[in-house]
Every structure is written in C-alpha cells, then in structure tokens.
Amino acid sequence: MTLKINHITFDAADPYGQAQFWAAASGFAEDPDDPNLPDNDETALTSPDGVTTLLFIRVPEGKSVKNRVHLDVAPVEGTRDAEVERLYELGATMMDDRRLPDGRGWVVMQDPEGNEFCVERGEMERAGIQV
C-alpha cells in the first residue's frame, strides 16, 4: 500500500492572509467555485497542474517553535536571488542566508506568520544556464 498526500496544511492565525501570500509567491490559485474569503476558517490553493493543495486552517495559538516540516521552493524562471527579493517584497523575511560564494546554497525565509521555507536555485540555474 501507498499513501497519496491530499493537502499540505498550515496552521494559521489568518488563513486568508496566508493564502494571499502563498498565491502570490507560488502561482497556486483558489477554486473559483469556492473562493477564499477573509473570514473563512479554512482557505485553500491548488497548484496549476491540480496535483498539490495548500490548506490554511485557523488555529487559536500562535507559532511557538521552529517548523518540523517545511517547504523547499525554487524559481521556475529567473534566479534564486531574484526570487528571494520578490518574496521579501511580498512580505517574507530572511532567517538565514546559506548562499555560498560559488553560487550554491539556499536562503531560509519565513512567510508572514513565521513558517520557515527554503529558497533554492532553479533547474536552469543549477544546470549553469544563464537566466
């Protein structure tokens, strides 16, 4: 037997705000037949290919420790460094800069509610293709 992962779920103080950030960051979108609303206790976004769903659920307590699971993300187009700047403009913050002088490495960031995620180089950048 195997398992199918249906959702990647985030606890959130503001599910709508989290959905707005991650929609802008990832290109995932809400279901037009079930739109996310500011007062919803649950909001969801689905990947463009329809395979992955991010689910944000309102919880009363705030985040208190480092995530035990986090997302590793990479730009589809452009560079890791340009993506870090774009995410910063969307409201993410930098926790740790693990970029190396030779171009390898990653950046640890936090979304607006403090959930950690890592920004890595994209496929083209790893392959040495000028982007």
Please indicate, yes or no, whether residues 107 and 97 belong to a single structural domain of this protein.
Answer: yes
N- to C-terminal Cα separation, the chain: 42
Q: How many domains does the chain have?
A: 2
Please indicate, yes or no, whether residues 41 and 55 belong to a single structural domain of this protein.
Answer: yes
Please indicate, yes or no, whether residues 131 and 71 belong to a single structural domain of this protein.
Answer: yes
Please indicate, yes or no, whether residues 130 and 96 belong to a single structural domain of this protein.
Answer: yes
Q: What is the predicted pLDDT for the residue at 64?
A: 86
C-alpha–C-alpha distance, residues 113 and 94, integer Å: 13
Query: Angle at the Cα of 120 (from 93 to 71), degrees rounded to 5?
Result: 65
Model confidence, pTM: 0.92
Give the model's confidence band at 113: pLDDT under 50 very low, under 70 low, under 90 confident, else very high. Answer: very high
Asked which of 40, 62, 84 is the last residue of a domain, the reply is 62
Q: What is the predicted pLDDT for the residue at 111?
A: 97
Asked which of 26, 47, 62 is the last residue of a domain, the reply is 62
Please indicate, yes or no, whether residues 8 and 68 belong to a single structural domain of this protein.
Answer: no
Q: Which domain holds residue 71?
A: 63-131
Alpha-carbon 67 to chain mean position: 13
Give the model's confidence band at 46: pLDDT under 50 very low, under 70 low, under 90 confident, else very high. Answer: very high
Please indicate, yes or no, whether residues 51 and 67 belong to a single structural domain of this protein.
Answer: no
Please indicate, yes or no, whether residues 100 and 85 belong to a single structural domain of this protein.
Answer: yes
Please indicate, yes or no, whether residues 88 and 129 belong to a single structural domain of this protein.
Answer: yes
Q: If DSSP states are collapsed to H, E and C, what string results for 47-78?
A: CCCCCCEEEEEECCCCCCCCCCCCEEECCCCC
